[in-house]
Amino acid sequence: MSKKNRVTDEEALSYHLEPTPGKLEINASTPMATQRDLSLAYSPGVAVPVEAIAENPELAYDYTTKGNMVAVISNGTAILGLGNLGALASKPVMEGKSVLFKRFADVNSIDLELDTEDPDEFINAVRLMGPSFGGINLEDIKAPECFIIEQRLREEMDIPVFHDDQHGTAVICAAGLLNALHLTGKKIEDCKIVLNGAGAAGIACIELIKAMGAKHDNCIVCDTKGVIFQGRTEGMNQWKSAHAANTKERTLEEAMTGADVFLGVSAKGAVTQDMVKSMADNPVIFAMANPDPEITPEDAHEVRPDAIVATGRSDYPNQVNNVLCFPYLFRGALDIRARTINDAMKIACAEALAKLAREDVPDEVAVAYGQKLTFGRDYIIPTPFDPRLIYTIPPAVAQAGIETGVSRKAIVDFDAYTVALRSRMDPTASMLEGLHNRARTKNARMIFAEGDDIRVLRAAVSYQRSGLGQALVVGREDDVKEKLTAAGLADAYRELTIVNARNTEHLETYRSFLYSRLQRKGYDAQDVHRLASRDRHVFSALMLAHGHGDGLITGATRKSAHVLELLNHVLDVSPKDGAVGVTALLRNGRIVLIADTLVHEWPDENTLADIAERGAATARSLGLEPRVAFVSFSTFGYPVSERAEKMHIAPKVLDSRGVDFEYDGEMTVDVAMNPDVLAQYPFCRLSGPANVLVVPARHSSSISVKLMQEMGGATVIGPILSGVDHPVQICSTTSSTNDILNMAVMAACNVG
């Protein structure tokens, strides 16, 4: 794991414990409020689909969750790199895999842990559960049992059975290899390919590559005993024997001589620089051992600058990451009600991934990763958070399944299918991940003003350990150490930088600066000294103003209005300075910004226009194309009310300014956000539901946000302080550790 993104035991356990144990829950997708609802959901209404399915089993895909439900199943005999720890210990991993299915491809998933190491018992248990699911994802099962289990289940079941440890790695490896060979001008059938590691993933990689055109005797497979050659008897089994080559080479070192491609799914350090030196021109090296590769990209490039290198790690270019495959492969398979996932579908997945990496990368992806990504030696595999994956990979998989006759359902209109896939995307997750990636690129020194609060300290630790930048905590050393120790984070004390008036060399500079700002506002030198040396909010703002930090997070322990007043002693964050508070609400895959939620009490039409511009700018900094609605209790002039008049006039103010974003108003919230209601007003200038709502007053924004948070279950980020010269963000007193961390990320990215 990268040292810049460290996860401690305490953080990992806390993540899985809070807010409720585990990582997933089950929610009803139909109304359950009335007795009639329950009568339809269960008895007597449920008898109707029961009889229909009994008569025609295919209707189970229409009347139940079967068609969008995958079981993630393990017996815990090969958990990650930890070995055989048993079925129960594998549950956190299987829950995690289920979450990834939902997060990336909107596939419902449930984890099942089977307490047996007997392949026959395992096979029988899974086979008997077949009617419940549209597909089976096998996970963390040791070799060679995984080969036996998958093969038997594929023969005995009429739904896709896919061992991701084998085939997920193989598909991503194949996609990267296609592009690496494209760059080097080599053909797969001409390449000498060396594989080190003859376990589940290795065997799957070499089988898929051979299916794509690599020649049998050009593929040299090695294990811990050396080359697998024809006639070898030691340490062999039927799966290894199938890949025994006609060769005189006996060691990995011999095999690497003249090799065009190295594929590693083995162990750290298995490949030396001398081995890399002996490879052919423009060698391709996929060192996929985790967490440490067979050889690091630095060591490989030191001796062979012409090498194209991929690893399994996120802190190096060209990450071979299974999440690029299994969610989208199953998405396509489920949507055609496939009976199996065959080689053609896996190859289609690999080819679609390879093609995607060769296309221009959207600006939103470049912004998210803080760099322009262009197809080349350091970008041969798409990034896991590329939003195009959901509507690019499944159609290719589905098409291959239909053409090879394993589908129960044809897709007639692939254009419509692509549009439907786009609608499954969850922009909230992509937005947050993009911001975190941008923050890592910025590597900002973040000032956490309230080091006496454990939530703030946890957020500071997470900020630093996530590789986002340096955390500067304002507080007393002994107090910070005591609180971190009590929270099980004693080792973090040495990592954080603790700052206060007692240990800074800049206090006199701070006092002089503050006195120059406040001397004509009723503050004498003694008042200024107290503020600079004793008030953590003012002290932190002084640090930021003098460039002794790159961003500031405060407000977790004091009311925002009071904190804003203190900050104004040092920074220009008042209404007259153009400051605006914009709160982001994230719910059910939608993002809506509400403004102003912090600064302006009762804005007039001109100020409302200012707020709209700041809200639009914030939306764009979050990767959204703004559609602004001035919301009210009236819609386009009715009912007539003096209190709604300013919301009617504000769009006309924007008309005179010639802004470059969509806006309209006044309108009620349902008109602004519900496409069906909006369609009743064809003259409205919004092309779709609004994502920035400008509200009449701060009290209405506060009510709206808190109501959505408490009743609607929305995730609230903000208020994001926009329109100010310094990257400062103010949390609320009810903020969780994660909320504070999100605000730190906003400050690091200078959102607003």
CA distance 383 to 277: 29
Q: Identify the pLDDT of residue 508.
A: 95
Q: Under a CB-based contact definition with an 8 Å cutoff, are residues 632 and 665 in contact?
A: yes
What is each CA distance from 446 to 206, 478, 521, 544, 750, in whole angstroms?
Answer: 47, 21, 30, 9, 12
Supply φ then ψ for residue 284, to 5 degrees: -110, 125
Q: For 266-318, what is each residue's pLDDT tens digit? A: 999 999 999 999 999 999 999 999 888 999 999 999 999 999 999 998 889 99
Please give the DSSP secondary-structure letter assigned to residue 79: B
For 721, list phi and psi in degrees, rounded to 5: -80, 115
What pLDDT does residue 145 have? 94
Mean pLDDT, rounded, of the chain:
92
> Domain range spanning residue 300?
168-321
Q: What is the mean pLDDT of residues 325-336?
A: 96
**CATH number of the domain to which 517 belongs:** 3.40.50.10950
Summarize the annotated binding site for a divalent metal cation as residue ranges.
139-140, 165, 290
In this structure, the strands spanning 580-587 and 715-722 are: antiparallel
What are the backbone dihedrals phi and psi of residue 123, each rounded to the nearest 5 degrees, phi first?
Answer: -60, -45
Binding site residues for NADP(+), as ranges?
Answer: 79-86
Q: Tell whether 384 is covered by a domain.
A: no
Q: How far is CA 530 from the centre of its chain?
A: 44
- Domain-terminating residue out of 545, 569, 593: 569
Q: How far apart are CA 439 and CA 467, in angstroms?
A: 9
Say whether both 614 and 538 belong to one domain. Answer: no
599 and 694 inside one domain: yes
Q: What number is the average pLDDT over the span 25-41?
A: 87
> 528: left (phi > 0), else alpha (psi -120 to 50), else beta?
alpha
Strands (E), 488-633: 497-499, 551-554, 580-587, 590-595, 627-631
Q: Which residues pair with 287 in a beta bridge?
A: 264, 311
Q: What's the confidence (pLDDT) of residue 3?
A: 47
| Angle between helix 326-335 and helix 343-358 axes, rounded to 10 deg | 120
Those residues with Cβ within 8 angstroms of residue 82's Cβ, 6 or more apart along the chain or in another chain = none
**Is the confidence at residue 367, as pLDDT, over 80?**
no
* CATH code assigned at 65: 3.40.50.10380
C-alpha dist (Å) from residue 137 to 95, 323, 328: 12, 13, 13
Q: How crowded is residue 640: how many other Cβ atoms within 10 Å of its Cβ?
A: 9
219 and 271 together in one domain: yes
The residues that are catalytic are 97
Of all residues in the chain, the percent with pLDDT exceeding 70 is: 97
Distance CA 632, CA 648 (A): 9
Q: What is the 3-state secondary structure (H, E, C) of 551-577?
A: EEEECCCCCHHHHHHHHCCCCCCCHHH
Residues 126 and 225 in one domain: no
| Cβ count near 54 (within 10 Å) | 10
| Confidence tier at 2 by pLDDT (50, 70, 90) | very low
Residues 580 and 475 in one domain: no
* Residue 643 pLDDT greater than 70, yes or no: yes
| Mean pLDDT, range 75-99, rounded to an integer | 93
Residue 1 has pLDDT above 50, yes or no: no
Distance from the Cα of residue 579 to its chain's centroid: 31
State whether 495 and 606 are in the same domain: no
Query: How high is the pLDDT of residue 518?
Result: 95
Cβ neighbours around 422 below 10 Å, total: 12
What Rg value do the Cα atoms of the chain yield, rounded?
Answer: 29
627 burial via Cβ count (<10 Å: 0-12, 13-18, 19+): buried
Residues in Cβ contact with 119 at an 8 Å cutoff, skipping those fewer than 6 apart:
145, 148, 149, 152
Domain match, 665 and 608 both: yes
Q: Is residue 600 part of a domain?
A: yes
Q: Does 109 share its domain with 177?
A: no
| Residue 699 lies inside a defined structural domain of this protein | yes
Whether residue 717 has pLDDT greater than 50 = yes
Asked whether the beta carbons of 511 and 529 are under 8 A apart, the reply is yes
Query: Can you list the pairs that 147-150 forms with residues at least 24 positions away whose Cβ atoms lie under 8 Å?
Result: 147/200, 147/203, 147/239, 148/119, 149/119, 149/122, 149/123
pLDDT at residue number 450:
96
- Are residues 190 and 96 part of one domain? no
- The residue ranges of DSSP E strands in 151-291, in sequence order, are 161-163, 193-196, 219-223, 226-227, 261-264, 284-287
Q: What percent of the chain has pLDDT over 90?
A: 74
Amino acid making up residue 126? V
CB 338 within 8 A of CB 401: yes
Residues 601 and 619 grouped into a single domain = yes
pLDDT score at 750: 87
Of 396, 398, 380, nearest in space to 348 by CA: 396
Terminal Cα distance for the chain, rounded: 33
Burial class (CB in 10 A: 0-12, 13-18, 19+), 700: middle
- Within a domain: 627: yes
Query: DSSP string of 19-56?
Result: SSSSS-----SS--SSHHHHHHHSTTTTHHHHHHHHH-
- CB-count exposure of residue 683 (10 Å: 0-12, 13-18, 19+): exposed
CA-wise closest residue to 73 among 27, 32, 124: 124
Measured over all CA atoms, what is the biggest interatomic distance in the chain, rounded to whole angstroms? Answer: 94
Position 590 scores a pLDDT of 82
Beta strand residue intervals within 570-714, DSSP E: 580-587, 590-595, 627-631, 662-667, 692-694
Answer yes or no: is 106 within a domain: yes
What does 282-329 look like in DSSP terms, one character per residue? S-EEEE--SSS-SS-HHHHHHH-TT-EEEES-TTSSSB--GGGTHHHH
pLDDT band, very low/low/confident/very high, at 488 (cuts 50, 70, 90): confident
Q: Are residues 144 and 191 in the same domain?
A: no
Q: Can you give the pLDDT at residue 364? A: 60
Number of residues in the chain: 752
pLDDT greater than 60 at residue 570: yes
Q: Tell which of 133, 159, 185 closes a domain.
A: 159
Q: Which residues contact 62 (CB under 8 A, 6 or more apart)?
A: none
Does 701 score more than 90 pLDDT? no
Is 197 contained in some domain? yes
In a domain, 70, yes or no: yes
Q: Which amino acid is at 752?
A: G
| Distance between CA atoms of residues 397 and 420, nearest Å | 16
Q: How far is CA 235 from CA 51, 167, 266, in A?
A: 54, 23, 16
631 touches 613 (CB < 8 A): no
The answer to the question of residue 340 being in a domain is: no
Give tens-digit pLDDT for 119-158: 999 999 999 999 999 999 999 999 899 999 999 999 999 9
585, 588, 707, 716 from 712: Cα distances, Å: 10, 10, 7, 11
**Final residue of a domain: which of 508, 535, 569?**
569
Domain count, the chain: 4
The answer on 135 and 89 residing in a single domain is yes
Residue 363 binned pLDDT confidence (cut-offs 50, 70, 90): low
Cα dist from 101 to 197, 224, 322, 390, 684, whole Å: 28, 34, 11, 11, 38
Q: What is the pTM of this model?
A: 0.76
What residues are designated binding site?
79-86, 139-140, 165, 290
CB 176 within 8 A of CB 310: yes
Q: What is the CATH number of the domain that holds 180?
A: 3.40.50.720
Which is more confidently placed, 364 or 698? 698
